[in-house]
Structure 1
């Protein structure tokens, strides 16, 4: 049966090949991706309001140990976790108090929170030593909507969420508070996760609860314009959610006050997804926001961290349980984790070299182009 598609349809007009199977488990290729993608893009490292002033946190990005600092004046900085004297680690704990100085415990070299070398302690430099040349190795830091990002590249690229930097401007993002957090290790390559995220062909068979909440998902599509017979004149549903539901909770009822500045279209949508490759996606609802962060920790293992963000007044409600709000999306994420790991195991077959995408998997095709472009920019070509 041939596919009849409107010229404005996002559906593919062919069935392209996927990335080669070996790129999902080969250690050498994984190392190249770390350098070409994870060390060059903006990587989400947490919420600003979860890093108290006067605190430094040890983090890892693309195999590099870093320290993320929030000083008592409210400034956020980031540096390689390396003393310029002889390379000792500066921060050994997950989090440590941060005063006016970052001091190495080995020989007491001390740095200002902007990275400048302040003291060599008991060492007595000679005339050939220029203190200004021995500050900490700085890493680019950016805040967007209360989220903190770092970039290891010498020159940081623009931060480019798929829906634009203004996509969440009607949500009070910077003032939201983390109410619930989960972490899970997925036994799959990071690209497998993003591929699952980018299609809904699996939804009818994998996500019964989600398909009940979002009826169009029962058709294996994420939006009306993905239907093979779609045209711009087709009527639009009043809401993406089932009748009576306004948000992603078990009941569909809001968990607290709804955000006051949302447009009628944003309320009717029930959810807005914003993606920042390769590091995270954000799902904004009328009453709360979920942020999901990925961090590859091996060719076939990925750490997934999910945070549910709420207004402070919602968290202050008597008897409020943020874990109960999180329970619905947690079911969906656990189902996705199961099939992503199943996908990863199957990719190890000696007979399977590449797959073929269906027309509805246009977003996976775009993601593959995104990966290829960044690898090719680093001189690495995927066959």
Structure 2
């Protein structure tokens, strides 16, 4: 398949959007408030979900060159994401095998063929192999081959890098979803900006916001709401993941077009990757948001803005900067994340026992069903 052709699933969503009215049939559903407010529930989710299933850690574009590395602390353990000299991505524990010191500090991308421990200068290649031990004569019988960095299972597919804490995790979905992402050339994008937001809300409240179109014309009335058509949305499921499409205000007959460029301009595709990753595909750029739950009422959200190529002129740079601040700061942070925080405050008060979901919010119930299914395993 040509990398720039839509998949059958993407075409099907587009055809469904063109068949108005797009309201989904169904009935009112509910989610218990306790799903968002109980610390014990949060602990169970960490053990049954985040410690077991594959998680997206970054876009491939974060490490565009060989011999690069970036520390990552969002999932509760010090991790180190690298791309080695052969171009293969790895996820290691960011811990020197000598005395347990954190190997790489900070959160910035590092370009270096070797990573040197700040304590005793043991050095490692970006493939995790122990490369150097100062005063090796004082470690008689030491086998460097046995002391490489501790590696976690990792798969790079379709422009995303996935990892899992559980050695038995199944990465089949990563390869299946990659076919959709190849249509957007996700792997060929340039990482323009990244920012981590500290959101004082349960992680599922943030996911909920990207699983329904009901709020778009209301919460986003002064920003993106004017570009998208109220209630003109369709969604389907890919295993525990969801794929949705919202028609843009000027779409019209373009929704039924067979031309991929025309179709992309007419539709905003969003992928909700279980458990906590959101991919929003706008006509000319892509936002990847990775949710990293910290407590029952706190989640870190790392937002990446991916664009077709690095800006070549000051005018292009200014254009992308405006787009970045508009969406990351003005829409996601000021509207979606703020709404999640307000929801957390309200649910924590005990005022309601359950939320009420209309037919435009059915994706939320499907997501919570997937959470419940994983908890029951």
Fold match, TM over 0.5? yes
Equivalent-residue separation in structure 2 for 1:48 and 1:338 (angstroms):
29
* CA distance 1:61–1:212, change in 2 (3 Å): closer
Partner of 2:17: none
1:11 has 2:50 as partner: no
Deviation per residue, 1:105-127 (Å, 9 max, x gap): 4445444443344566354345x
- The match for 2:202 among 166, 175, 189 is 189
1:171 pairs, out of 184, 190, 193, with: 184
1:243: which partner in 2?
250
The change in CA–CA distance for 1:376 and 1:180 in structure 2 (over 3 A counts) is same
Does the 8 Å contact 1:43/1:150 carry over to 2?
yes
The answer to whether the 8 Å contact 2:85/2:127 transfers is no
Out of 312, 318, 325, the residue aligned to residue 316 of structure 1 is: 312
Whole-Å separation in 2 of the counterparts to 1:303 and 1:60:
10
Deviation of the 1:130 alpha carbon: 6.4
C-alpha distance in structure 1 between counterparts of 2:85 and 2:175, whole Å = 34
Higher helix share: 2
Per the alignment, do residues 28 and 309 of structure 1 end up closer, same or farther by CA in structure 2, a change over 3 Å counting? same
Q: Output the CA distance in 2 between the equivalents of 1:293 and 1:264.
A: 27
Deviation at 1:195, TM superposition (A): 1.3
Q: Aligned-pair distance for 1:372?
A: 0.8
Q: Aligned residue for 2:288? A: 291
- 1:80 deviation in Å? 0.9
Contact 1:163-1:274 at 8 Å conserved across structures: no
Measure the CA separation in 1 of the matches of 2:205 and 2:261. Answer: 35
What is the rounded CA distance, in whole Å, between the counterparts of 1:74 and 1:161 in structure 2?
Answer: 19
CA contact (8 A) 1:246 1:267 kept: no
**Matches of 1:274 and 1:162 in 2, distance apart?**
15
1:345/1:222 Cα in 2 relative to 1: closer, same or farther (>3 Å)? Answer: farther
**Equivalent residue runs for 1:1-383 within 5 Å:** 10-13=24-27, 15-18=28-31, 20-51=32-63, 52-95=65-108, 97=110, 99-117=112-130, 121-125=136-140, 132-158=145-171, 160=173, 164-208=177-221, 209-215=223-229, 217=230, 221-223=231-233, 240-243=247-250, 263=260, 266-267=263-264, 269-312=266-309, 315-320=311-316, 321=318, 322-330=320-328, 331-333=330-332, 334-377=334-377
Give how far 1:375 is off: 1.5
How far apart, in 1, do the equivalents of 2:322 and 2:43 lie? 39
Cα distance, 1:60 vs structure 2: 1.9
For residues 180 and 115 of structure 1, what CA distance do their matches in structure 2 show? 27
Separation in structure 1 between the aligned mates of residue 45 and residue 360 of structure 2, nearest angstrom: 27
**How many corresponding residue pairs?**
336
* Greater strand content: 2
Conserved in 2, the CA contact under 8 Å of 1:213 and 1:245? no
Could you say which structure has the larger radius of gyration? 1
Task: Write out per-residue CA displacement over residues 68-107 of structure 1, whole angstroms, 9 at most, x where no aligned residue.
Answer: 1223332322211223344332223334756554444444
> How big is the alpha-carbon RMSD for the aligned residues of Structure 1 and Structure 2?
3.5
Tell me: CA distance 1:90–1:351, structure 2 relative to 1, closer, same or farther (3 Å).
same
> Over residues 136-163 of structure 1, what are the superposed CA-to-partner deviations in whole Å (9 max), with x where a residue is unaligned?
2211222233332222111232253799
SS of residue in 2 equivalent to 1:365:
helix
User: Residues 181 and 308 of structure 1 are in contact (CA less than 8 Å); yes or no, is this contact kept in structure 2?
Assistant: yes
* Displacement after TM superposition at 1:368 (Å): 0.5
SS at match of 1:142: strand
Mark the runs of 5 or more structure 1 residues left unpaired by the alignment. 1-7, 227-238, 248-260, 378-383
Instruction: After TM superposition, give the deviation of residue 364 of structure 1 in Å.
Output: 0.7
Deviation at 1:374, TM superposition (A): 1.5
CA distance 1:163–1:87, change in 2 (3 Å): closer
**Deviation (angstroms), 1:224:** 6.8
